Amino acid sequence: MLLPFMKVTVVSLAAGLIAVLVAIHALREQRTARIELAALRERAQQSSDQLLRLETENATLRKENAALASQLPNPNDLARLRADAAELRRLRAQASSTPPRAQIRKLADVPPAPPPDGETTAPLTLDGTVRLSFGETMVSGGWQSQSAGKRIFTLLTPTRLDDGNVMVAARFAEVPEAAVETLGLKELRTEVRAAERYSTFSPEAGAELVRALTQTTGVDVLTSPRLVTRSGSEATISIGGHADGEGISMKLTPEVQPGGDSVDMRMKVVLPPPKAKIEP
């Protein structure tokens, strides 16, 4: 009788143990599910926070884009600015291609002109004194040339050499009447044989004028002599081979001024007379 009872008891205990184990397992799974659920909720919250940040940044970007769009120029204004810029470039190019005008001055110590006598074979002369800074260019002349429709201009540029001597670069150029005004030399034109007026150009403007002369159609540089002498000493040069066989003569006496930055140039330049009749 005891043995069956013990069997029943063991079975009951085993069933109870199994039930406990099942319950423990269920509790573990429930705990695991709760942990996973909590993790999912945390990730969901993080995603929600990130989405909120993105929406905030997106709203900020929309505001910034709207502000930038309001600052963009009107297409009509932009077209007008481009047209103004093109006009400015054109004016700059025109200014760079046109030598600057210089103030017209009168030569000092010019000998009095001889009374009219109807003589048409007298030479053309440039006789007087000019004070220049070293590197400046003096332009004078403006006489009618032997070549029809042209005028002769004289350019003189003094330079102080390292040894203290003075070098004067001279240029004699025939310029077509049509180019005289373009080159800024209109006010130097003369109908008398003795030139009395001149212009001075800064070193930069003088270089630009020389460049314009060499690039202007119809301009002929007759000769470009250079004279070197001491301050106070006369330098003389004669250049032959002009149109009618007569030459150009030039006498220069430079006097360097105190400080050494400027020079008084006493000059006498003589050119052959033109074929056309002008006043003596």
Confidence band (pLDDT; 50, 70, 90) for 279?
very low
Contact 99, 183 (CB under 8 A): yes
pLDDT one-digit tens code per residue, 77-132:
777 778 877 877 766 665 555 554 445 566 555 455 554 444 556 788 888 899 99
Confidence band (pLDDT; 50, 70, 90) for 278?
very low
Residues 174 and 252 in one domain: yes
Looking at 77-81, 220-224, 245-249, 269-273, which range is the least confident one? 245-249
Contact 158, 230 (CB under 8 A): no
Specify if 177 maps to a domain. yes
Residues 61 and 130 in one domain: no
Residues 21 and 150 in one domain: no
The β-bridge relationship of strands 262-271 and 248-256 is antiparallel
Q: In this model, does residue 172 exceed pLDDT 80?
A: yes
Residues 119 and 44 in one domain: no
| Cross-strand pairs, 127 | 268
Specify if 276 maps to a domain. no
Residues 55 and 118 in one domain: no
Residues 127 and 222 in one domain: yes
More confident residue, 95 or 168: 168
Task: Write down the pLDDT at residue 117.
Answer: 46
Task: Write down the pLDDT at residue 276.
Answer: 44
Task: Write down the pLDDT at residue 106.
Answer: 62
Task: Write down the pLDDT at residue 275.
Answer: 58
Specify if 94 maps to a domain. no
207 in helix, strand or coil?
A: helix
Compute the average pLDDT of residues 26-38: 85
Specify if 84 maps to a domain. no
Looking at 8-22, 115-129, 194-208, which range is the least confident one? 115-129
Residues 6+ apart with CB under 8 A from 280: 113, 114, 116, 117, 118, 119, 120, 122, 192, 193
Residues 140 and 21 in one domain: no
Residues 162 and 28 in one domain: no
Residues 118 and 193 in one domain: yes
More confident residue, 278 or 104: 104
Compute the average pLDDT of residues 215-220: 92
Looking at the structure of the chain, the number of domains it has is 2
Listed residue (136, 234, 142, 263) closest to 192, CA to CA: 142
Domain boundary among the residues 49, 72, 95 is at 72
Task: Write down the pLDDT at residue 177.
Answer: 93
Task: Write down the pLDDT at residue 1.
Answer: 54
Domain boundary among the residues 72, 91, 118 is at 72
Mean pLDDT score across all residues of the chain? 81
Residues 225 and 266 in one domain: yes
Domain boundary among the residues 48, 72, 96 is at 72
55 in helix, strand or coil?
A: helix
Query: Which regions of 94-181 does DSSP assign to beta strands (E)?
Result: 104-106, 124-133, 137-144, 150-160, 166-176
Specify if 158 maps to a domain. yes
Compute the average pLDDT of residues 171-191: 90
Listed residue (100, 185, 204, 203) closest to 141, CA to CA: 185
Specify if 216 maps to a domain. yes
Dihedral angle of Cα 60, 61, 63, 66, to the nearest 10 degrees: 180
Neighbours of 226 (CB within 10 A): 12
Compute the average pLDDT of residues 237-250: 68
Provide, rounded to the nearest whole percent, the portion of the chain with pLDDT above 70: 80
Specify if 95 maps to a domain. no
Task: Write down the pLDDT at residue 277.
Answer: 43
Residues 64 and 119 in one domain: no
Which residue range forms the structural domain that includes residue 208? 105-271
Residues 115 and 188 in one domain: yes
Provide, rounded to the nearest whole percent, the portion of the chain with pLDDT above 90: 31
Specify if 100 maps to a domain. no
Task: Extract the tokens encoding 25.
Answer: 């397992």
Compute the average pLDDT of residues 229-242: 83
Q: What is the CA radius of gyration of the chain?
A: 49
More confident residue, 149 or 86: 149
Confidence band (pLDDT; 50, 70, 90) for 280?
very low
